[in-house]
Structure 1
Amino acid sequence: MSDYLSVTALTKYIKYKFDQDPHLQSVLLKGELSNFKKHSSGHLYFNLKDNNSVVNAMMFKAQANKLDFNPKEGDEVLIEARVSVYERQGNYQIYVNKMHLDGIGNLYQKLEALKKELKKQGLFDTKHKKEIPRFPKKIAVLTASTGAAIRDIYSTINSRYPLVEQIQISTLVQGKQAKDDIVNKIRYADTLDADVMIVGRGGGSIEDLWNFNEEEVVRAIFEAKTPVISAVGHETDFTLSDFVADVRAATPTQAAVIATPDQVELSQYIKQTELNLSRHIIQIINNKKKHLEHVASYYKFKQPSLLYDQQIQKKDDFERQLNLSITTKLNNALQKVELLTNRINLKDLKQQTLQGIQSRLQLHDSLNKSIINIIDNSKKRLSQRIENLNSLSPSNTMLRGYTIVNKNEQVITSTQSLEKNDEINLQMKDGTVDAIVKKVRCNHNE
């Protein structure tokens, strides 16, 4: 009986062997997640399988919190794990330390991380977007020299806007060397003085389009001074080049449409503009004709001499004034010259000046006295005349009892100016009286 082992002992022995084997302490595995469960404790339990085998796996919470993705059923993963035995069930299983998405899933993870970082740096901000010229003269096309993309772009541009010059730059769009070639061709195209640059290729898987997600390519597009249209893949494909470009086109054909005006629409626009311009010119001409007719009817234009007659007369007047002024200034200058040429006795000049000043002061005093006498005499004469005028004033006369007789608003000074039944007006000191003449008596001596 002592030769028989218990199940527990056997399991412990096998576990011991697993734990002591250095080759099982860190193994790298890849496979598909199945029967995936996340326990309330935070530990992960799942199976890792391939086409032929399945192995139980678990990941403790501490390691699970370090994952850079959310694992789910069916994910293809790359795992670093330790192989051991779970004694309770006697099964071997793996204890996962690290886990990453495999293949495409890993690319998507890398894409999202780079996209987040470049967005944080502002490479995708709309403030950096350049406007696509409406009427380009030169377009640089960066794509493979063969394939549907170059044919679609070439034919679309020729059908829409054949006037534009196309610079086709053969570019690697797939493979290990494609990234550097795309960057170099973008920088080269940026030196060609093109109005717009189309960067693109046909559709494909994420691996096929990955070169347009490379950071070097994204930064080359961002740094380009030429406006860039990104046309990578089909409508559902998105790359980081689409986000950094000035405009994103769903397909290469749409990129050609965005870069060029339609010659049919442009022809219609030109015809409409020509029609509007002709109408506007005709309206301007008609307005100018009306204005010209109005100006031509001005009376001075009918007699042109009226425009210059008075100007000629003004010219003659100015000429006379100018001659007179010149003569006057010349005479004054001659007099000054004559005075300067004469020898002047400074003593006599000083004496004459003093005498002149004294004489002026005496004249000033005499003039002031004369003016005062004249003013006083004038005041006396004025007062006398005012008194005489008051004594002869009709108002003063009426105050002494006299009356002024008026007939037909004329003062009557003689009885000979009146007749019987004349209507007269008697003006007294305090009013007027209307009367009718009954009888006129005249002094025969007069």
Structure 2
Amino acid sequence: MASIYSVSQVNSYIKNMFVQDFALSRITVRGEVSNCKYHSSGHIYFTLKDKGGTLAAVMFAGQRRTGLRFQMQEGQQVVVTGAVDVYERDGRYELYAKKIEPDGQGGLFERFVRLRGELEEMGMFSPEYKQPIPKYAMQVGVVTAPTGAAIQDIINITSRRNPYVQLVLYPALVQGDGAAESIVAGIHALDELGLDVMIVGRGGGSIEDLWAFNEEIVARAIFECHTPVISAVGHETDVTIADYVADLRAPTPSAAAELAVFDYRQFEEQRMLYERNLVRAMGRRMERLRYQMEQCRLRLRFHDPERQIREKRQLLFNIEERLGQVMEQRMQAAKHRLALSGGRLHGLSPLAKISGGFGFVTYGPGKRLESVRKVQEGDEIEVRVSDGKLTAQVTGTEEAGMPGGSE
């Protein structure tokens, strides 16, 4: 009976054959880079291909530091030096690269570089044409395959960040024949809906898988789109023409959802923080205004017209009282002076003289008779006494000191 071997034994035997083969232990292979992935550990996983086949390859982080002097990209033509060995667990052979050197560029990559240069000369990559991504988008359009991992990632991220955001999916072909036309139709259809922002992309793949996003018609559709566009094609290391033309590039579809959909929980927390700060600020302002109002009230009370009127009335009363006192004093003084003057005048009054037995003699039209020479014999005179007057006729005159005069 023939021997029966386990899978591990077979893989180990094959591995041993590869190890013993001198040609495979030090081999140089030329091919086009495809499915290039830079792992977080520092390893690089890629595939070398030509028209006849493909060869899986890997360069570990330790070899990368000395064996790779450039950034590998999809479609590059490279020369890889290393060893072909079997990975026993999976039973597949790989090229373990020790040194990688560029050897020209593959056909697709040459097309990529040429179209990128042409569109750049047209100004389609210029920053001044980039539209800002709205901070609080509520309607987000998505142009991608309806069953791929990309749309699931976008839905999951959106549901977690903001369940109130509406996603509008245009199910498009993202690779193969007619993919570019399908993507363009999706961009035009969603642009007519007037959405807040649009995500255009797909999951990772080789340069051939992503080539639809390198077509000129897709680039022009994104450039002419009125809705801000976020490109999300492949993985972080995958770069397409759509990434250059889009208003914003996201490294992955998940990252595109993060950029397009604002975090509602964080928004609410920030809003509540602003509300609390606003309430505190308003409270402090109200306190200041109350204090200012109290100060104004006190000043108004000090300058109160009614209070001023009362003060003026009191001042007027005091002035009036003082004026009355001054007038009374002046009246008393005037009365006293008048009394003194009246007394002196009374002492000089003819009536006072008359009351003492004297009379006041007038002649003619009430003229005082001061001399005997003023009258002649036969003239009438009047004599005023204390209780009336007498009318008399001059019967004779005699000058004093001149005896013997006529009577």
TM-score normalised by the chain length of structure 2? 0.49
TM (normalized to structure 1)? Answer: 0.45
By percentage of residues, which structure has more helix? 1
Higher relative contact order (CA 8 A, sep 6+): 2
Rg larger in structure? 2
